[in-house]
Every structure is written in structure tokens, then in C-alpha cells.
């Protein structure tokens, strides 16, 4: 016998007998791992904490005995062979133990029988365990089948070789309007449409002849109790036992409404195709590999290609290379969005791109793109509506050129005004330049667009242009101004507005200049505007103006320093100065080391 492990629970009060039994097991080829116990409590603990292959139990001990051990093992419901190993057991006691559940009894003076008895009982226990496992599995699978079929909304029936229904789930009873008792035993042909007999008969006969037959999908009509006919879709397979046909399992789904919906959809598609075929814009549908699946006839007017020619092409064959590269990037972005659970299923993208026509020329087109989806809302294609925008793009180009020319003219006008002010008051000109640079930096720090930055730059370099009307001796006076002199200077924002209001510009230059001394709390001038009544550009320029003025030398005092200027902004943000603008300015100097220039 080959060496093999054996887990032994030994119920024995004699250590000498324990030694003899273990020696006998080893002699019989076992490698025993054992534990000796003498009481009921110890047995309970051993059964609970460990697994055993066999229990060897003495018949009688001072604190325990074999019948009690057998009863305790039964209570535990654990299937372990228990063999009585005793030197004093009588025939009646042995028979009683066997009736109670002992598997064998061995006399201690005849231990040569022990190993063969253990081998037999361990094998029998293994067989019992395998049989129980098989029965449990079959019971579980039967329960599982019934659970699935009883809850399945589809119709499930079993047919015997005479095509009688031997089982139907509750969905069949509900669908037919017939009690299950009447359905069971009835012939499947009782419910079939006569025109479908031949088709169904052919399929069912195939089940009888070929054990590997499966219904992949077939459709036929079934009549319900109320006389209505329903179209069902069926799948099925035959079950064989010992290579002999036993039953057919058929699963049916009512697709009557689905077929009606398909017919309506087909009619709707025909109407929409008629519409698509006659619109001026071009309508494309594209699969997920960028291959056209539909193109409206208007493609010929747009590109010179016929529908048949386009259907043999891919998107990259029509789109200019730089356009297709952009389209591919957009597609990847959209597919990334598709992975999100919160994606908008109705979202669309509008793109401008260039097409290469059949004659080699290029045109600009605008495309509105939206995903086509299946029943599970998965993207399966793209719908695109395309229109020619070449003329619009040309008009935009001319407008852009005109705007650039206007900007150049404005810039020239501003340079003239700056030069005029510089000749009168060089301090004011330098102040405007530094304040303008700071205002632009604040605007960029706030994340505003380049167009606003350009407008603030223009307004910044002329925000004090109204001082041209102030006498030079007042502007450059080294001492404190009188009230009359200060009131003259305060008029410069109004004067600047009057000078700029008739200049045509893409930015509100006159209004920005007019409001740059207004304050959030309404204490500014000339209109005492508050909060959002003041243009954002003016709020930005106001902060830049104060910081530059405080930190620079003035005719009537030396510089108070940048720290004093920033302290003024910090102290009065939200009171005199816009919170967001003030924070952007402070961050520029404190976090990014900005310096006036």
C-alpha cells in the first residue's frame, strides 16, 4: 500500500492502546495525523474545529462510551465513518452499535483487520459524498431552472416525442389565456396557424432525427384563447439521455408589436428618405469605420460626385487632410465621452471643414454631427448634415480684414493722442503705459480672452487722454492742488469720453475711459456708478491705475512704494475695487513677482 495521509479522531482512554493503533495504521501504509480524546465535550470541539477521515472509538471508557459517541456524531450531521475498536465488546453490544450507525467493529487483539476496514469505509464515505454532491447539484439545477422559467417573461415549453406540451411556465398561461392544467398534455399544433404547420413540422422532425439540432431563430403564429394571432420568435434545443431523444426545450417571445413597429419604422424611413433625397443640404450616415452608409442625392450639386461614387469612398477621401485630422481628433474625444455613464445621448457637434471636390477645388462646409444609436443606446454610426459655407467664410475673411484695418486706424489715432499728451505731460504718458501693461496682465490672470486684453490695452494707453484739456501748470504743479484745480482734473474722464465717443472701434473705448474712476460702492466719479453698472474693463483699469499712481513719483510727492499700493487694494477690495480683479492683481505681485514696467 502506498504511503497516504489519514486524519484520525481517536476516542480512547488508553495511551498504550493509542500507541498500538497508530503503529498498526503505519504498518498498514497510512501516515496518520491523530488526536486522542476521552469525553463528549472534547469530541464536540474536535468535530467543530477540524476535519476527519475516520473516527476510531473504544466501546467503553470511564467518562464516555461508543453509543454516546455515535449519537453525538449523528447530531452533528457530519458523515464520517466511525469504527468501534475495543477489547471487551460483546456480540450484542457490537450489533447494537452497528444498528445505531457504527460502520464496523474491530477487536483490539485483531488489529490486522483495521486498515482494510478503514480503506473500505473511507472509500464508501467518499462515494456517499460524491453521490450527495451530484444529487445536490441536480436539485440545485432543477431549482435554478424552475426559478428562471417561472420568472422569465418569455414563453418556455417542453415537448415530448409526440409534440405534446409536458411543461409550460406561467408566462405561457398568461399569454394564451388558458389554465396550465389544460395546456399540459395538449398538442402544440392546437395553437399554430395552419399556414405555419409545414414549417414547424419540418423543424420538429429534425429534432427527432438529429440529436445535435438547435433552433437558432424561427418565426410563426400562435392563436390565443381570445382568437387573436400573435407572431412569436422561437429558439430551442433537444435534450438527449443515453443518446436517445427525451424532450425539446423551446423558448418563445411575442414579437407582434415589434413587427408592427418595424413596419411603421419602414414607412417612416421611406418618408424621411424622400425628404432627405430632396433637401438642398447633404445628409450623410457613416459607420464607426468612417465609411458612408447613406448619402443624399444633393451630394452631386455640392461635390460633383454621384451617390454611387461617394458610397465607394470613405470620409478621408472627401475631406481635406487637415480637416480629416481634426475630425479624427473630435471622434476620439466623443468616444471618450461615450464611456461615461452621465453622457448626453442627444449631444451634437458642429464643425467647419474643407472638402475636396471632384474637380480638385476646395470648399468650406459646416457639418452638424450626432451619433446614431442601437436599442441599447450604443453608438453605431454618425448622422451628418452638411451645407456649403464657402461664401460665408469669404465674407468673414473680408470682415476680418476690415476689422484689422479698423484696428490699425484706431491704433494710429491713439498714438497721435498719446504723443500729444506726452508733449504736454510726460508723466501722464508714462503712467498710462505702465497702467495699461498692468491692466493687461490682470486681464490675462483672470483668464479673459485675447480680444478683451487688446481692448484694455487700447483703452489703457489713453485712459487719461482727457488731461489734454487741463492746463499744464496744474498737471505738473509740485504742491497740493486747490479744490478748483482738483475739480478741473476730475473732469478729464468726461473730457476723454467726449474725445473718443465718435471714434469707430470694436471696443467700448470711450465708456472704459469714462468709467475708470468709478468705484464699486458708488463713491467714484463722474456718474457714481456701482458694482456691475461699471464695465468690467473699467473695473480692471481702475485697480491698475491706483497701483501705478501710488507706487510712482508724482509732481507733488515721491513714490509711496508698491507695498503701500497693494495694501490699499487689499484693504478696499469689495468696497472700492472689484473682488476678482483685486485678487488677480495681488496674486500677480505676491505669487508671480510682477513688476511695473
Apex CA 483: angle with CA 482 and CA 484, to 5°?
90
Q: Which three cell numbers stand for residue 336?
A: 471618450
The answer as to whether 251 is a domain residue is yes
* Cis peptide bond upstream of 526, omega within 30: yes
DSSP assignment of 416-466: HHHHHHHHH-HHHHHHHHHHHHHHHHHHHHTT--HHHHHHHHHHHTTTTGG
- How would you class 174 by CB atoms within 10 Å of its CB: exposed for 0-12, middle for 13-18, buried for 19 or more? exposed
Q: How many CB atoms lie within 10 A of CB 341?
A: 4
> Residue 574: left if φ>0, alpha if ψ -120 to 50, beta else—which one?
left
φ and ψ at 81, to 5 degrees?
A: -60, 135
Number of other residues whose CB lies within 10 A of the CB of residue 28: 17
* 84 close to 26: Cβ distance less than 8 angstroms: no
CB 373 within 8 A of CB 383: no
Determine the Cα–Cα distance for residues 345 and 106; give it in Å rounded to an integer.
78
What is the model's pLDDT at position 115?
Answer: 92
The reply to whether 375 and 417 lie within a common domain is: no
Other C-beta atoms closer than 10 Å to the C-beta of 124 total: 13
| CATH number of the domain that residue 53 is part of | 3.40.50.2300
Q: What is the DSSP string of 96-160?
A: HHHHHT--EEEEGGGGGGHHHHHHHHHHHHHHHHHHHHHHHHHHHHHHHHHHHHHH-SSEEEEE-
DSSP code for 480: P
**Closest-CA residue to 297 (of 270, 279, 313):** 279
Domain identity same for 111 and 213: no
Residue 298: give its domain's CATH number: 3.30.450.20
Confidence check: pLDDT of 72 > 80: yes
Lowest mean pLDDT among 187-191, 252-256, 326-330, 516-520: 326-330
Residue 339 lies in a domain: yes
pLDDT of residue 500: 84
- Greater confidence (303 vs 275) lies with 303
* Helix H or strand E segment including 219: strand 214-223
Residue 137 lies in a domain: no
In angstroms, the CA 332 to CA 335 distance is 5
Is residue 264 over pLDDT 70?
yes
Assess if residue 10 is contained within a domain: yes
pLDDT of 176 > 70? The answer is: yes
pLDDT of residue 433: 83
My answer on whether 304 and 375 are in the same domain is: yes
The C-alpha atoms of residue 41 and residue 11 are separated, in whole angstroms, by 12
- Which residue among 388, 421, 448 closes a domain? 388
3-state secondary structure of 568: helix
CB 433 within 8 A of CB 461: yes
Helix axes 450-460, 536-551, angle to 10 degrees: 50
SS3 label, residue 499: helix
CA–CA gap between residue 361 and residue 355 (Å, rounded): 8
Q: Is 216's pLDDT higher than 90?
A: no
Domain presence at residue 416: yes
Judge if 232 and 156 occupy the same domain: yes
Work out the average pLDDT over 168-176.
Answer: 90
By C-alpha distance, which of 488, 511, 486, 491 is closest to 501? 511
pLDDT confidence of 470, banded at 50, 70, 90? confident
Other CB atoms within a 10 A radius of the CB of residue 418 amount to 18
- Which of 43-47, 181-185, 242-246 is predicted with the least confidence, judged by mean pLDDT? 242-246
5-14, 233-242, 247-256, 363-372: which is most confident: 5-14
Minimum mean pLDDT among 14-18, 29-33, 324-328, 363-367: which range?
Answer: 324-328
Does residue 394 belong to any structural domain of this protein? Answer: no
Cα Rg of the chain (Å, integer): 48
- In tens, the pLDDT along 80-127 reads 999 999 987 888 888 899 999 999 999 988 888 999 999 999 999 898
The pLDDT confidence band at residue 2, using thresholds 50, 70 and 90, is low
What pLDDT, in 10s, does the model give residues 552-596? 877 667 888 899 999 999 999 999 999 999 999 999 999 999 998
| Per-residue model confidence (pLDDT) at position 228 | 92
The DSSP H or E segment spanning 9 is strand 4-11
Distance CA 597, CA 177 (A): 91
Q: Which residue has the higher pLDDT, 175 or 215?
A: 175
At 372-414, the pLDDT tens digits run 998 888 888 888 888 888 888 777 777 567 556 555 656 666 6
β strands within 357-419, DSSP E = 362-373, 379-388
Phi, psi of 347 (to 5 degrees): -65, 155
- Give dist(CA 334, CA 374) in Å, integer: 17
Q: Do 208 and 61 sit in the same domain of this protein?
A: no
Quick one: 425 and 384 in the same domain? Answer: no
Give the angle 224-227-232 at the CA atoms, nearest 5°: 40
Q: Name the nearest CA neighbour of 465 among 489, 492, 488.
A: 492
**Structural domain boundaries enclosing 37:** 4-131
By the 8 A CB rule, do 168 and 193 touch? no
Q: Is a pLDDT exceeding 80 seen at residue 212?
A: no
Predicted local confidence at residue 557, as pLDDT: 75
Helices (H), 366-389: none
pLDDT score at 547: 93
- Which residue among 198, 226, 259 closes a domain? 259
- Whether residue 514 is contained in a domain is answered as yes
pLDDT value for 48 = 93
pLDDT in tens, 325-340: 888 888 888 888 888 8
Predicted pLDDT of residue 1: 44
pLDDT value for 245? 66
Instruction: Give dist(CA 483, CA 524) in Å, integer.
Output: 16
Q: What is the DSSP letter of 161?
A: T
In terms of domains, do 345 and 206 share one?
A: no
Same structural domain, 300 and 359: yes
The answer to whether 555 and 476 have CB atoms below 8 angstroms apart is yes
Q: Do residues 116 and 180 both lie within one domain?
A: no
Which residue would you say has higher pLDDT here, 321 or 228?
228
Count of residues for the chain? Answer: 597
Q: What is the CATH number of the domain that holds 513?
A: 1.10.3210.10
If asked whether residues 340 and 474 sit together in one domain, one would say no
Cα 329 from chain centre = 20
pLDDT of 229 reads 93
Distance of CA 167 to the CA centre of its chain: 43
Tell whether 422 and 483 lie within a shared domain: yes
Same domain, 448 and 482: yes
Residue 245 counted as domain residue: yes
Distance in angstroms (rounded) separating the CA atoms of residues 394 and 369: 23
Q: What is the pLDDT of residues 431-449, one digit of tens each?
A: 888 898 999 999 999 999 9
Higher pLDDT, 533 or 489: 533
The total number of structural domains that make up the chain: 4
Of the given ranges (122-131, 275-284, 349-358, 524-533), which has the lowest mean pLDDT?
275-284
Amino acid at each position: 500500500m502506498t504511503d497516504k495521509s489519514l486524519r484520525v479522531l481517536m476516542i480512547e482512554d488508553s495511551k498504550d492502546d493509542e500507541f498500538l493503533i497508530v503503529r498498526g495504521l503505519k504498518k498498514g501504509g497510512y501516515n496518520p495525523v491523530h488526536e486522542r480524546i476521552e469525553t463528549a465535550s472534547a469530541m464536540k470541539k474536535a468535530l467543530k474545529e477540524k476535519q476527519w477521515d475516520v473516527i476510531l472509538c473504544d466501546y467503553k471508557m470511564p467518562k464516555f462510551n461508543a453509543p454516546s459517541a455515535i449519537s453525538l456524531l449523528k447530531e452533528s450531521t457530519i458523515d464520517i465513518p466511525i469504527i468501534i475498536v475495543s477489547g471487551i465488546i460483546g456480540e450484542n453490544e457490537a450489533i447494537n452499535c452497528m444498528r445505531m450507525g457504527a460502520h464496523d467493529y474491530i477487536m483490539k487483539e485483531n488489529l490486522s483487520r483495521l486498515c482494510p476496514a478503514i480503506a473500505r469505509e473511507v472509500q464508501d464515505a467518499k462515494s456517499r459524498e460524491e453521490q450527495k454532491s451530484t444529487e445536490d447539484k441536480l436539485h440545485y439545477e432543477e431549482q435554478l431552472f424552475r426559478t428562471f422559467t417561472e420568472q422569465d417573461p418569455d414563453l418556455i415549453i417542453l415537448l415530448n416525442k409526440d409534440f405534446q406540451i409536458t411543461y409550460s411556465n406561467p408566462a405561457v398561461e398568461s399569454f394564451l389565456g388558458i389554465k396550465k392544467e389544460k395546456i399540459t398534455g395538449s398538442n402544440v399544433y392546437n395553437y399554430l396557424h395552419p399556414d405555419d404547420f409545414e414549417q414547424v413540422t419540418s423543424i420538429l422532425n429534425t429534432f427527432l432525427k438529429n440529436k445535435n439540432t438547435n433552433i437558432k431563430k424561427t418565426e410563426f403564429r400562435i392563436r390565443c384563447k381570445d382568437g387573436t394571432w400573435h407572431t412569436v420568435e422561437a429558439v430551442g434545443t433537444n435534450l438527449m439521455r443515453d443518446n436517445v431523444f427525451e424532450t425539446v426545450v423551446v423558448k418563445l417571445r411575442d414579437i407582434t408589436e415589434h413587427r408592427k413597429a418595424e413596419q411603421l419604422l419602414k414607412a417612416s424611413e421611406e418618408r424621411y428618405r424622400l425628404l432627405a433625397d430632396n433637401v438642398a443640404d447633404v445628409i450623410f450616415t457613416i459607420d464607426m469605420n468612417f465609411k458612408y452608409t447613406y448619402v443624399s442625392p444633393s451630394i452631386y450639386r455640392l461635390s460633383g460626385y454621384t451617390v454611387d461614387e461617394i458610397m465607394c469612398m470613405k470620409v478621408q477621401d472627401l475631406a481635406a487632410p487637415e480637416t480629416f485630422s481634426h475630425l479624427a481628433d473630435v471622434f476620439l474625444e466623443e468616444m471618450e465621452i461615450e464611456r461615461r455613464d452621465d453622457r448626453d445621448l442627444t449631444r451634437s457637434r458642429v464643425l467647419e471643414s474643407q472638402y475636396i471636390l471632384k474637380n480638385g477645388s476646395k470648399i468650406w462646409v459646416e457639418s452638424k454631427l450626432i451619433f446614431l444609436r442601437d436599442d441599447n443606446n450604443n453608438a453605431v454610426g454618425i448622422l451628418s448634415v452638411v451645407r456649403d459655407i464657402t461664401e460665408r467664410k469669404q465674407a468673414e475673411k473680408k470682415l476680418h480684414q476690415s476689422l484689422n484695418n479698423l484696428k490699425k486706424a484706431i491704433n494710429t489715432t491713439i498714438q497721435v493722442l498719446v504723443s500729444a499728451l506726452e508733449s504736454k505731460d510726460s508723466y501722464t504718458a508714462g503712467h498710462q503705459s505702465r497702467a495699461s501693461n498692468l491692466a493687461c496682465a490682470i486681464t490675462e490672470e483672470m483668464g479673459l480672452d485675447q480680444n478683451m486684453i487688446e481692448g484694455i490695452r487700447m483703452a489703457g494707453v489713453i485712459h487719461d487722454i482727457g488731461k489734454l484739456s487741463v492746463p499744464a501748470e496744474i498737471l505738473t504743479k509740485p504742491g497740493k492742488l486747490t479744490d478748483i484745480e482738483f475739480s478741473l482734473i476730475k473732469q478729464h474722464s468726461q473730457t476723454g469720453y467726449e474725445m473718443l465717443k465718435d471714434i469707430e472701434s470694436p471696443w467700448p473705448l470711450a465708456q472704459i475711459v469714462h468709467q475708470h474712476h468709478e468705484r464699486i460702492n458708488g463713491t467714484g466719479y463722474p456718474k457714481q456708478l456701482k458694482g456691475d453698472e461699471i464695465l468690467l474693463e473699467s473695473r480692471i483699469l481702475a485697480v491698475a491705475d491706483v497701483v501705478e499712481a501710488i507706487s510712482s513719483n508724482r509732481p507733488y510727492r515721491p513714490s509711496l512704494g508698491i507695498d503701500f499700493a497693494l495694501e490699499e487694494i487689499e484693504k478696499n477690495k469689495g468696497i472700492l475695487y472689484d473682488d476678482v480683479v483685486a485678487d488677480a492683481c495681488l496674486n500677480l505681485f505676491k505669487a508671480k513677482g510682477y513688476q511695473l514696467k
